[in-house]
Amino acid sequence: MQRLLFAGFLVVLAAACGPNPQAPVQVMALVNKTAKGYEPTQVELKTLHDVVAMKGDVATFIGGAHITLADDDPAIAVPLGDDQFAAAIVKNKGGDVHASFIEKDHILWPADFHTWNMVTLYFNIEKTTEYFQANGATATELGAIPIYYFPEYRVGSVISNPTKDNAFYLAPLHGMLILPFDKFQDTPLAMAQTVISHEYSHSVFNKRVFQDQGQINAYGVWAAGGVPGATNAMKSLDEGLADFHAYGASCRSSAGCNPNLYSKVLPDSLASARELAHADRCLSTVDRQSKLETMDSQTFIQNGYLYQVGTVIASSLYQAAEKTGQRDELEKNILAAYTDTTAATPGFAEIVAQNLNTPAELTLEEIADVMLSHVSDPTLKKQLCNELWGRLKLNIDATHVQHCPIGAAPVTDCGQVP
């Protein structure tokens, strides 16, 4: 009788411990399958080591955190170093998530909605890291991105209501925040592969272009100098490249290439404005001058103009890739352009450093030239120049965009956009 009780105790003790399968983990996730939409699908997570706490080589989840990024927060009223600033804005560090599973035939089935959400999110991140590694990034460089899952996030004021319906990369925390949904009742942002790939791309941009700074020194210097154009241009570039990488990652998914990145994810009015395939994605001269080059950065960002300019950049890359059939090549070239210490072909990081004290010279032309200087295929280079020239209204001459090949000509899709 005693042995029976002890054996029963051991069984209960074993079952009281969470599942701990070795990677690769066989698990169910919600995968977008184009016409059918999202379906429960068995996937293999190659890098996940702790399925309950959702910690792996590419991401580590944090639940229950409280983060406040407020102008009236006395904790950040004085200049702070990156680590101190990060500690000051995290009011509650949170803790491990507790994914809940039911094991069936050695496959882990999420037992509630948030576990479905987190597993699918991890799957999307894993696929995105595979995209970047296929284009030249290393696993060491990418590391494990912290995912703040459904945190309480306040912005603007310490007494503001928590923000909802968003997912974004926050440089001070070097991590991604997936906020609770409220009005967004379509596909949860965490499940949308294009959203996750877009946000993850910001972490890669921050690592390579800004050396993974928590508080971007260049933006601070340029703001103090009262020259917003460089900040506006770099932020627009960041958004544009994130959209282009999100598109590239979608081409590797089971749903296939999706230029309508945020369809059924964001409200139609927002999603349609970000679609890459529209032929007339162009920046007007008026918008370039009044918004990009002269509008103060805070207003530029708050009004979402960085997405407007970013979509034009992304669309230029999309059109060049699809018209030449060299999307894979362009993805590699663009990622290589993030940082390049070669004097003749500086990367984005290098032109930021070069123009730290001359922000007026960091223009769309400078940015376009960096891209073109890292494209080796002549056909692709010419088409890319055509797209950027026509859509961004570039000023290309002997001294600007020198890597635009002879014979290039601006696309005429923007004929209706002055």
Partner 1 sequence: MRTLLASLAVLLVLSSPAFAQKDDDAPIPYPDEQNDDAPVQRKQLPRHSEDTPEVREETEDEQREREQSLAGLDDPNLGLAGEFLAGLMFPDSSRGAFPDARFAWGLRFTWELGRITGNETLRESLFGDVTWSYATIKDGTTAIHGDSNLHYFTVAPAYGLPFGPNKIFSLYAQVGAGLAYQATFITVSQASTGVSGVKPLFQYGVGLRGHPTVLQELPMRVSFRLECTRFRRGYLDDTFAGGSVGVDF
- Check binding of 102 to partner 1 (CB under 8 A): yes
Residues written for the chain: 418
**Contact assessment for residue 120 and residue 254, using Cβ atoms and an 8 Å cutoff:** no
Q: d(Cα 46, Cα 130) in Å, to the nearest integer? A: 11
Q: What's the closest the beta carbon of residue 263 comes to partner 1, in angstroms?
A: 12
Applying CB under 8 A, among 24, 71, 264, 378 the residue interacting with partner 1 is 264
Among the listed ranges 108-116, 255-263, 347-355, 362-370, the one in contact with partner 1 (CB under 8 A) is: 108-116
Which stretch, 103-111, 129-137, 214-222, 245-253, contacts partner 1 (CB under 8 A)? 103-111
With CB under 8 A as the contact rule, the residue among 55, 114, 154, 174 that binds partner 1 is 114
Q: Please give the distance of CA 178 from its chain centroid, rounded to a whole number.
A: 12
Distances (CA, A) of 146 to 62, 149, 153, 170, 207: 7, 9, 15, 10, 14
In the set 24, 40, 156, 267, which binds partner 1 (CB under 8 A)? Answer: 40
Q: Is 180 exposed, middle or buried (0-12, 13-18, 19+ CB in 10 A)?
A: middle
Task: Single out the segment in contact with partner 1 by CB under 8 A; choices: 8-16, 210-218, 229-237, 247-255.
Answer: 8-16
118 binds partner 1 (CB under 8 A): yes
User: For residue 3, with 0-12 CB atoms within 10 Å meaning exposed, 13-18 middle and 19 or more buried, which class applies?
Assistant: exposed
Nearest 10 degrees: CA dihedral of 224, 225, 230, 235? 10
Based on the shown chain and the rule CB under 8 A, indicate whether residue 115 belongs to the binding site for partner 1: yes
Q: Which is nearer to partner 1, 120 or 197 (CB)?
A: 120
The smaller minimum CB distance to partner 1, of residues 148 and 348, is found at 148
- Show the tokens assigned to 412: 């005429």
Q: Which span sits near partner 1 by CB under 8 A: 13-21, 298-306, 309-317, 366-374?
A: 13-21
Residue 113 binds to partner 1 (criterion: CB under 8 A): yes
Which of 52, 134, 221, 417 contacts partner 1 by CB under 8 A?
Answer: 52
Scanning residues 58 to 97, which ones bind partner 1 (CB under 8 A)? 61-64, 94-97
Binding-residue pattern over the window 301 to 330 for partner 1, x denoting contact by CB under 8 A: ------------------------------
Q: Write down the least CB distance from residue 185 to partner 1, Å.
A: 4
Give yes or no for residue 262 binding partner 1 (CB under 8 A): no
According to the binding rule CB under 8 A, does residue 123 interact with partner 1?
Answer: no
Q: Give the nearer residue to partner 1 in terms of CB position, either 61 or 348.
A: 61
Tell me the window of 110-118, 213-221, 271-279, 288-296 that interacts with partner 1 (CB under 8 A).
Answer: 110-118
Nearest residue (CB) to partner 1, 30 versus 368: 30
> Whole-angstrom Cα distance, residue 374 to residue 208?
15
Closest CA to 162 of 179, 174, 147: 179
Out of 125, 191, 204, 394, point to the residue binding partner 1 (CB under 8 A): 191
- Which of 85, 122, 132, 149 lies at the binding interface for partner 1 (CB under 8 A)? 149
Residues contributing to the site for partner 1 (CB under 8 A): 11-12, 15-18, 30, 37-40, 52, 61-64, 94-100, 102-104, 109-118, 149-150, 181, 184-188, 191, 264
